[in-house]
Structure 1
Amino acid sequence: MAKKGIEEMISEIEIFIDNCKYKPLSSSMIIVPKDDLEQMLNELKLKLPNEIERCKKIMRNKEAILADARTRADSIITESVAEANKLVDQSQIVELANIRANEILDMARSQADQIVNEANADANEIRLGSMYYTKDKLTEVSNYINATLEAEKANYDNLIQSLQSNLDIVLNNTNEINGDIANMTGAAQQAAAPEEATQTTSEENNTTVENEQDYNVYGKTEYSNDDEDDEDDDFDDDFLDD
């Protein structure tokens, strides 16, 4: 499996975010699987040290590049001097040889300077370019994650406030119902009190009448109507005997 570069990993994160589903009733907010995103970011973090080490290696190779450039420049100069010396040996073309030698020397110095400058520019450009690009991409990802977290936090706060409001309404309705129940119960008890008092008075009157029937002028009687009939019969028998 080929190793992924930073640019490829960042592109995968961008594609992953683009493929996330939108939140219900929202056209700008998405639902991001936290574990998957964290895994991709961790892989990116693990990759960064290698890229930074590669940039450092380029900087270390800078000296080697410069040394190689100097060697090539010295070789060109040496060859130019040798060629110039050959031309100088020929007396017929001494003046031309000097001119040619100077031109070669100037060209060699110019080429050497150009090689050194290009090596420095390439090394710095590669290093700075990779670092700035990585920094920009990480900043974009960080800003997006922070914005998503803030939006989710706001949604949860709104949900809690809505639930609290509904709870307050339910509690108020419950208190009103309890008050109505208490009022109706009190009214029913007040209506039942006169009926109980009337029933108690009627029972007391009945008891008084019964007690009056059990008493005569001599006090409470111990016999019934049957006893009176027996006495009358005895009186009649005595009268007949007489």
Structure 2
Amino acid sequence: MSSRIEQIIEEIEEYVESCKYQALSTTKIIVNKEEIEELLRELRLKTPDEIKRYQKIISNKDAILADAQAKADNIIEDTKKQVQEMVKESEVMQQAYAQANETINSANQQAQAIIDAATNDANTLRLSAVSYTDEMMANMGQLASNMLEDAAAKYNDFVQALRSSLEVINQNRAELSPQLVRSNEAPVQEEVSAPSYEPDGFDEDEDLDDGFDDFD
């Protein structure tokens, strides 16, 4: 919106344009003294008011600029504080990350130590179990060997007893044979030889030796 001074100046310009030139001149015009003086008087009266108005605008402008500068300074200060807080938070987060990583590494080391200890214990138990099983099998083998030797000895004693009994029987029959001949006048029967008793497919010396070899 234009000011009154600008309007008066425009009116003066329009008035001058509307005036007629003097005779034989292209630069001089004929003006109405009262009209031009009225316009100039109003211009002089309005000038202080307009100056005050512009001064007020300038003052307001300065106030606006000062307020804007203050707001800008506040924004900058707040931004600086936020940046500082963010930096502090970042440092705190970095420390937290470092502590978290340290805790994780410590936990991993402890877990690995537990796994290693469990693995060593398992290996020790496995070796102990293998050793115990081998010892038990050795004891069982020794027991079986002893049982086989004992059975072989008992079998030999049994065979020897049978042979002794058969020899006694043959001797007794031999003693009775002359008496039977005299009483019955019958020929003396031939002496019955003691049969050699051995289980089918069993050779006393070879099979026992083979049995012992199996348990060596």
How would you bin the TM-score normalised by the shorter chain? 0.3 to 0.5
Bigger RCO of structures 1 and 2 (CA < 8 A, at least 6 apart): 1
Alignment TM-score, normalising by the size of structure 2: 0.47
Alignment TM-score, normalising by the size of structure 1: 0.43
